[in-house]
Amino acid sequence: MRLTCAQAAKLVRLDAGESLPRSQLSKGLLYTLQKADVVRMEKSGSSYVVRGIPGKLASFVEHHWGVRDLARYAQANPTNRSRELLADIAGDSKALPNRPFDGIFIRSFDNCFLANKPLNSSPPGTAVLITVGNLPHLRVETPYLVAVENAECLWNFEKAKRYFPDLTGLDYALVLRWHWGGAWRQWLNGWRGQLLYFPDYDPAGLRIFATEVLPHRPSARLLIPQDFEKILQERGERDLYLKQEKFLPVLDEHAELARLCRALRKARKAFEQESLLS
């Protein structure tokens, strides 16, 4: 049985001599701890609590799971852990699942820097991965950042750009909306430019904009293809709309979002952004 961060956090408390309601520990974990005699059960009202035996519990955790630093292990969440960290505190780089490509894929056009070193220009078909740990060192010296929903459109944005004549002459960089966790939001809070969002033009895509982008960047704007309603009629798919109709946002405070929602409801069609690559 792999020890999770959440379980480790509870064991940290037990190792400090605290008690926890028996219901907070899984049967498998509780059985393992009881069999090793590193916890004891205590009556509490009509139920029981589990109390750890300080020192003895931590020693067992190291022997059984290889975790040498229980407190640091408990704090090794997906946004801050690495194979190196896990090797140090647990003696096993695979002790917890790792996502080595966590971070932000960005296409720079001679306007992005990492630790004061230029990222130069990213040709079609390429992008630079800025890992979560390096995000604080990313500097984007452009007034516009275009957030792209799908990877294919990030690699080949030039093919879709013709649908957005308003971008002509603007200085911008491209970023893939892939893993927008706390580190990315913290970075975005410190960036003072305009976020433009290139969504899927279907109910699910617009819902992502409404629920995952706007709450953290209320000033974000949508990229809307020129002659959108005509494109929707010609390229839109009825089945895609019907499959996702329940996800269509109902809020209308954002003018661009409201416009797209009205158009989708009227046409009862939708399309994904990759349709603009052809």
179-213: per-residue pLDDT in tens? 677 888 889 999 999 999 999 999 999 999 999 89
Tell me the residue range of the domain where 170 lies: 103-277
pLDDT of the residue at 185: 87
Does 152 reside within a domain? Answer: yes
**Does 79 map to a domain?**
yes
144 shares a domain with 204: yes
Residue 207 lies in a domain: yes
Are 86 and 112 found together in one domain? no
Given 66, 90, 114, which residue is the final one in a domain? 90
- Could you give the angle at the alpha carbon of 201 between the alpha carbons of 237 and 163, nearest 5°? 100
Q: Tell me, what amino acid is at 142?
A: T
Give the CATH number, domain containing residue 149.
3.40.1360.10
Number of separate domains in the chain:
2
Q: Which residue has the tokens 């975005």?
A: 188
Q: How far apart are CA 37 and CA 60, in angstroms?
A: 9
Outline where the chain has alpha helix (H).
5-15, 27-35, 56-65, 70-74, 83-90, 151-155, 157-160, 182-190, 203-208, 228-235, 238-244, 255-267
Q: Is residue 185 part of a domain?
A: yes
Q: Which of 104, 236, 211, 223 is nearest to 157 (CA)?
A: 223
- For 41-60, the pLDDT digits (tens) are 998 888 899 999 998 999 99
The pair of three-digit structure tokens given for residue 192, joined into one six-digit string: 């003072």
Q: What does the pLDDT read at residue 118? A: 96
Long-range CB contact pairs, 205-208, < 8 A, 24+: 205/149, 205/272, 205/273, 206/247, 206/248, 206/249, 206/257, 206/260, 206/261, 206/264, 207/247, 207/248, 207/249, 208/149, 208/177
pLDDT in tens, the chain (278 residues): 688 889 999 999 999 999 999 999 999 999 999 999 999 999 888 889 999 999 899 999 999 999 999 999 888 876 667 767 777 888 776 677 665 567 889 999 999 999 999 999 999 999 999 988 899 999 999 999 999 999 999 999 999 999 999 999 999 999 998 667 788 888 999 999 999 999 999 999 999 999 989 998 999 999 999 999 999 999 999 999 999 999 998 866 899 999 999 999 999 999 999 999 98
pLDDT for the residue numbered 78: 67
Q: Can you give the length of the chain in residues? A: 278
Cα 82-87-3 angle, rounded to 5 deg: 85
User: Are residues 82 and 185 both part of a single domain?
Assistant: no
**Global confidence as pTM:** 0.68
Residues 220 and 272 occupy one common structural domain:
yes
Same domain membership, residue 114 and residue 42: no
| Structural domain contains residue 36 | yes
Question: Is residue 74 domain-shared with residue 127, that is, in the same domain?
Answer: no
